[in-house]
Each structure stands twice: as structure tokens, then as C-alpha cells.
Structure 1
Amino acid sequence: MSPCEFLFRRGCQPGGIGGSMSFHVKWVLRVLIVVLLPFGLSGCGGGSGDGTSATQLSFSLTYPATASVAADELDLLQATLLADGVETVLALEAEGDLVLPASAGSNRTLSLLLNRLDGRGYYEATVEGIEITEGMVTSLGAITLNTVVADAGGDHFYNTGSLVQLDAISATLSDGTPLNYSWEIIEKPAGSAAVLSATNTARTDFTSDIDGTYRLKLTMNDGGDEYFDESVIRTETLPTTYTDSTTGMHFTLVPGGCFTMGDATSIPYPNEKPEHEVCVDSFYMGTFEVTQGEWVSLMGEGNNPSKVDDVTELPPGGLYPVENVSWDDAIGYIAELTGGTGLSYRLPTEAEWEYAARSGGKEEVWSGSNWVPTTAEWEAADLDPEQWFLSGFEDEVANFAWFKGSNSHPVGELFPNGLGLYDMSGNVYEWIQDWYDSTYVTGEDYPYYTDSPRDNPQGPVDGTKKVVRSGWFKGTIENVRTTARAGYKPTWNLIGMVGFRLALPVTEVLGE
């Protein structure tokens, strides 16, 4: 096999300048480094174009639009290229060539290192054993990828009295080198007795006991240099409920915390797997689904989209959930509501919704219900769905979940969950802010959950469908589980099926 054939199979593009090999590295901070190695100036042929024997190696650094690295953080990175013992400091987003002398069987190493100038860590890619024969790269040896960035978890807002969980486990070296961790509280409110449960582990926690600011410092080392990061935790004693003085809409505090999102033990639906840890900050959730009365009072008489017009046709007058609305319709309502009240209402994220539905992340299969089916009961239901109905399993959750009905029902008729939220299992589907990813790990089109953030995940950056949760009044008992999820196009109104409830940041309630 000729060198050109070898390179073509490895990614060389024959014909003209630009035959290349690309190595894509996704760093902890989502910095994407692409190392390009164009070999020769005419197709897969070697030489420098002037008759001399040389090999051209080009490099480039690119930052995709979806990168989560803040613009001001780019100034904190310094790139260095090391080739054949020659070290060159690079300008970020620059492109250039490094011409190396060619010799048969040469054994070369190309190393690209990005150091964070703020002391948090580094990113490194090394290609060893670049074999050059007659001016052409004929084979590549081992590719080593190594990163470490101290990450204390960012800044958060919790209700005073909450257990604050800190996690640096994601900041590990990709080559398996163990890291040493050290946590300390370097600032806390006067009079606070808060202490860390552990100081030399990747994970630790403390209970916030007084309103104010807690500043945590994480120190890491890889057996050599030390790297640092800080996390600021703000806590306030928040009211457990809030009523909008303009609209009269009711909201319930969802204290922030961490939980295991997803379901790997019950109904084997792939889009609920795998279970993964998620933490959300404190926020307020609508105590009830948005009602038809609330919709009409804002959007105008005669503008009720619902399949069954509760406002004019049914008692008690406007207390049924609004439905037959698209995601776009819900966003339009929120825009009107925000304009009229001055408060930044929004839809909940998918992580917030599940955390709230499960009464603050508890192991609730149905919102508010303590009943957990046995393995035998799940297996019986999987083999024969009628087992749910024949054995009376539904009675165990009937006080909390509305399903297998002929219509929706007025909000708040069933029992609330542990946080005081109603109808989180059934009644109508609820639109969620996030784009839908068909599976937590290997979404074919939008593999967001492959590396979903632990803290306050916002969902994929784009998609074709929006998430719906809760299930609906004609669904089955499986359909209204707290982990059940689906996705629909944001323009669809799905007659009679889908409504929504609101979320509100705690800073809005505090008047900030």
C-alpha cells in the first residue's frame, strides 16, 4: 500500500493543498482543539514545493460557537507548541506552519499545551512517533490527551438550612493519574458554625446555617503543580410560598439540592437512562398548572384555546388547566406575563421539573406517592400491562395522579406532593424549557447527556422537539411517572393534551 493510500484511509484528501489528519479533543471547559497535519503541497505527495526535502505541519485552534468558555476566559489561556524540542508560544485562534526536516524513519513528537493563566489547570495533546519517509508522514504513533482543570462547581443560590454538596470529581486526568483534593471554607457569615464533612476528598458537603455568603476554595494537585478554584454559595431564608400581587398566581419554593435523575430500575424506557447526578439551585415553581382563567385574564376573552372551554362552559369557572397550547404559545403567554408584572417568569428546565415532581429529588415513582412497586410487580406489568388494572395497583397512586380519565380536572383536586405542588403526575402534559434529547447518553441527533453538566443543566443548545413531562389524563399509570419523558415539536398544540406551569427565580421574589 502506498503512503497516499494509507493517508487517504486515515483522512487525507487527495488533490491540492489540504490533505489532513484531525484529532478532536473535547476538554473539561469544552475548548475544542483541532490539530491539523497537512503533508506536502500537492495531494498526498511530499516535499516543500521548492525541491527541498521537508514536511509541513500546520496547526489551528478553533472555538466552536457552542463552546461554554466565556469570552473573557479565552484571554486566560496561553498556547504552546512543542515540536522536535522547539517551543513556540502561539496566539489563540491563529494558524501557522512549522516546517520540519524530513528523514527516513524519523521519530517525532508534536505537543500542544494550553495553560490557564488563572492557575486553574491546563489542557494538553501529544502526538508521538510521527514517522516521516521521503517527505511524507506515513504513520502516527500514540496520541496522548491530558487535561486537568480545578472546578469547584461554580456559584449557587440555596435556601438557608440546605445541605450544600460540592463535587470536584469531574476534574480528573484523562490518563488516570490520581489527583489530590483539598477543600476549605475561606469565608462564611458571622456566627456561622458551618463545617465541611470532609476536606481531602473529591466530594464534600456542609449545611448552611445562617443567611449570607459562603466562599469555598478547592486546591488540587497531580503530584506536582497545584491548581485552584473557588465557589461562592449564597443562602437566604426564603418564603415557602409566593403569590404574585398582580395576577394572584401561586408559587411554591423548591429548595435547591442534588438528586439522581432518570430511572434505571422500573419500566425499561431507554430515554430515561442512565441515572445521573444533577444539582439545581433553589427556585419557585407554579403550585398549579396555568389555568384557563389565568390564560384568558391575560390573553383576552374569546381567546381560550382549550379543547373543553372551562371558562364559559364548565364549573367552577376557569380552574381547569389551559391546554391545546404549543410551546410557542406558552412562551408568548410568558412574554405577556413578564411585561405586565415586571417579573422574569419562564418554563422550568427538565432537571428542575423532575426534581420538583419528586418532592425535592426523592425516589418517588409518582409525584407525592410513597408506593414503590416490587420487582415482581414491575415484571408482571411488563409482561401484561393489564396486570396494573387487574391487581388494583392504580389505587396506590390515585390520590396523587390523574390518568385513564375522559377529561382533565380542575387543578388542585388531588393531594399535593411533598413540596406542596399539585398535578405533577397526569392531568395534562407540561411543556419544558429544554430541547428534547431522545436519550440521556447516546442521543443520535443531540447527544447532550453524554456530558450533561451536573449543576443546573439547561438541555441541548438546539433540536427539533421540546420536552414534555407529567403525562396526561388519558395516559396509563406508566405514562404519569415522574421520570417519564417525551418530546414534541414546539409548534404543535396536541389538542387537549398539553399545558404548562411556570418557574420563577428566587431573586425575583427577593426583589433583586
Structure 2
Amino acid sequence: MNASNDLRAPFVHDLSPAQLRALQENTASQIGLAVNFRDALSDGASGPELALIPAGVFTMGNPDPARDFGELPARQVQIETSYAIGRHCVTAEDFQRYAEASGHPWPDHLVRTEGRQPVTNISRADATAYLAWLSEQSGRTYRLPTEAEWEYAARAGSRSRYCFGDELACSEANTGSFRIVGRSVQGWRRYLPFCAPMNQAVDVGLYPANIWGLHDMHGNVWEYTADLWEGPADALSPGKTGQWYVTKGGSWFESAWQARSAARKPRWFDELDVNLGFRVLRETA
């Protein structure tokens, strides 16, 4: 991935929803994959459901000069090759199947999610071990997405704060507050939530997908990326050393403002949290 003005790569923000879907479908056809697919695993099971993400150029970061601390300025970034990414976060049942098959310890003294809820309270090392197992089982390369890959997939061609527009509706994401961005609320009404809060991570896939078929890119749980918080200035590739990593997406615990596509949050390398999970990336090259 590079900062680029290469006109041969499509600038996805100029494409209509129909053109964005066509780009995805054409890319899938060219490399012999379905738009949505699962890899067969050697134990007879299937891997996570994936969506094919086409290569392209997009504007990453926040164009607002008054952006939040830690947010990066807007700049054009080229995603040079297609990849596949999980249509939703890795679930508790996904991780439990892995733990049972591999013997990987999963402490039961921590608060656990269940079933189709995103797996949480696992370390970055746990996520990396799961990805290594998935790679071995499938014969394909699975890893965490870089911050650029994550944001490109989340935006799915959108320029707005969220893939759905500049505001989120209650029916579009699981966040802690839906206070309308840029509007003040007077009197006692300011203390009321705009939507009934879930107060926990909910099952994946309950909220609408973006143009490229990805669910819960805004809210539910924060998601690990491969990038160090203090990485390269353009944040296009992961650094080599460090202890703080970039997470993206917001969660059920924070406000909708933290779930914007450009929003980012540092997490300690071995941090555990009930609002922190991960999504897989599968290389197609």
C-alpha cells in the first residue's frame, strides 16, 4: 500500500454504489473467487465468512482541521492488491472451536461472550495464534488488517463519517450513545440516550452491512489492527517494534463519535477488554 496519485487505480469515492459493487464482483471473478466465501479447513469445518475487497485509491483519515487527538489528517492512499476480510468479527463460537481443536488456553475466570457474539477479553497474542491456526488449517495466509486496509474496507467508497452517512441511526450500529454530532441538547433531555443502549456486545450481523457486505464496522467492539500507534507517519504499513497498537471501529461502550471510520484508539499490546475483538484478513495474492 502506498500514498499514490496513480490514475490507473480507481478512486473509489467517485464511484456509485452500483459501480462499487461491480468493482467487487469483477475483482472476484478475475481471481476466481466468489464475492462472499469461506475457506475449507483441514479438520472438515469452514473458516470465517469473508468478503472480497477490490484494490483502489481512497482518502484515509479525518479532513477536519479540528480532528480529535491522535486522528490522522486526510490523505490519498492506494490499496494495491485485493484481499478478503471477515464479514464480521471473529465470534466466541469461532474462537472456542479453535481453542478446543488446538488446546489453546482460554481462561474461564474472565468475562466471556457466547455464541455469535464477538469474542472479547482475549489478547493480541491470542488473536495472532488463532490466525496462525487458521492459516495452517486453510493453507492460506490469514492475519490482522493494517489500519489502511481496515478503514478502506469500512468506508466502502464513502466519504462521510460513517459508511451510512454523517450520522448513525439506532438501527445501524451498537454504540453507547447516539448523540447527534454537532448539535447541542438543552435541559434535562441531554441526559437521555437517543437509543436504548445494549450495554454489551451483541451477536454479529444484526446491523446492516456496508456496500461491500461487511457488518459492524461501526460499534459493537473495537478491532485490532496490525499497526503500531507510533508507526510510520503515513500509517500505511505496520511498524516493527512498540507496545501500543491501533484499534478501529468503536464499541457498545463509547459514543457513536468514536465509531467513525477515521476514529482510532491506542491499545496496549497485551490489553484485555470486554469491548475489544478482532476481524480476520485473508490474502488473495
Do these two structures clear the TM 0.5 threshold for a shared fold by scoring above it?
A: yes
- Select the residue among 454, 458, 461 that pairs with 2:240: 461
**Residues 366-405 of structure 1 aligned to structure 2 (within 5 Å):** 366-367=162-163, 369-372=164-167, 378-380=181-183, 404-405=197-198
How far 1:238 moved relative to its partner? 4.6
Measure how far apart 1:333 and its partner are: 1.1
Q: Is the 8 A contact 1:259 1:362 kept in 2?
A: no
Q: Equivalent of 1:329, from 97, 101, 126? A: 126
What's the offset of the Cα at 1:459?
2.9
Instruction: Find the aligned partners of 2:158 and 2:33 in 1 and give their Cα distance.
Output: 21
- TM-score, normalization by structure 1: 0.43
Pair 1:422 & 2:237 matched: no
Aligned to 2:16: none
Q: 1:352 aligns with which of 138, 143, 149?
A: 149
| 2:96 is equivalent to residue 296 of structure 1 | yes
Deviations 1:266-325 (A, max 9, x none): 873032231111111211000111011110111118837662341xxxxxxx21110001
Equivalent residue for 1:503? 281
Equivalenced residues, count: 248
- Give distance in 2, aligned partners of 1:420 and 1:261: 20
Specify whether residues 489 and 424 from structure 1 end up closer, same or farther in structure 2 by C-alpha distance, changes over 3 A only: same
CA contact (8 A) 1:468 1:486 kept: yes
* 8 Å contact from structure 1 (residues 267, 478) kept in 2: no
Structure 2 SS opposite 1:478: helix
* Amino acid corresponding to residue 91 of structure 2 in structure 1: T
Q: Once the 2 structures are TM-superposed, how far is the Cα of residue 484 of structure 1 from its aligned partner?
A: 1.0
Output the CA distance in 2 between the equivalents of 1:372 and 1:152.
28
Give the structure, 1 or 2, with the largest relative contact order (CA under 8 Å, sep 6 or more).
Answer: 2
Structure with more helix by fraction: 2
**Structure 2 matches for 1:469-480, cutoff 5 A?**
469-480=248-259
Q: 1:362 aligns with which of 151, 158, 171?
A: 158
Q: 1:262 to 1:333 in 2, by over 3 A?
A: same
CA contact (8 A) 1:464 1:489 kept: yes
Amino acid at match of 1:307: V
Of 460, 482, 487, which aligns to 2:261? 482
Residue 54 of structure 2 corresponds to 255
1:286 pairs with 2:86: yes
Q: Aligned with 2:50: secondary structure?
A: strand
Distance 1:294 1:285, change over 3 A: same
- Indicate conservation of the 8 Å contact 2:218/2:259, yes or no: yes
Matches of 2:111 and 2:211, distance apart in 1: 31
**Alignment of 1:272 onto 2:71:** yes
Correspondence for 1:245 among 8, 26, 40 = 40
Query: Which residue identity does 1:321 align to in structure 2?
Result: P
What are the residue-to-residue correspondences of 1:69-218 with 2, within 5 Å?
Answer: 164=9
Quote how far apart the aligned CAs of 1:236 are: 4.1
Indicate conservation of the 8 Å contact 1:467/1:486, yes or no.
Answer: yes
Report the Cα distance in structure 2 between the residues aligned to 1:484 and 1:491, rounded to whole angstroms. Answer: 21
Please tell me the residue identity of whatever aligns with 1:366.
Answer: Y
Task: Answer whether contact 2:3 2:77 (CA < 8 A) is retained.
Answer: no
The answer to whether the Cα contact below 8 Å between 2:140 and 2:283 also exists between their aligned partners in 1 is no
Cα deviation digits, residues 332-362 of structure 1 (max 9, x gap): 1111222222211000000000011111x42
Contact residue 113 and residue 120 of structure 2 kept, 8 A:
no
Structure-2 separation of matches of 1:408 and 1:484: 19
Which protein has the larger Cα radius of gyration, Structure 1 or Structure 2?
Answer: 1
Q: Please name the residue that 2:205 is paired with.
A: 412
- Aligned mates of 2:87, 2:94 — CA distance in 1: 13
Contact map agreement 2:145 2:226 (CA 8 A) in 1: yes
What percentage of aligned pairs have identical amino acids? Answer: 26
String of CA shifts for 1:445-493, please: whole Å, max 9, x gaps.
x5x21xx27xxx2133322211111111111111111111011111111
Quick one: which of 296, 301, 307 aligns to 2:111?
A: 307
Give the whole-Å Cα distance in 1 for the aligned partners of 2:62 and 2:112. 34
CA deviations 1:48-93 (Å, max 9, x no partner) are: xxxxxxxxxxxxxxxxxxxxxxxxxxxxxxxxxxxxxxxxxxxxxx
In the alignment, residue 137 of structure 2 is paired with which amino acid? G
Provide the alpha-carbon RMSD of the alignment: 3.4
**1:411-435 C-alpha deviation (Å, 9 max, x unpaired):** 0011111111001111111111111
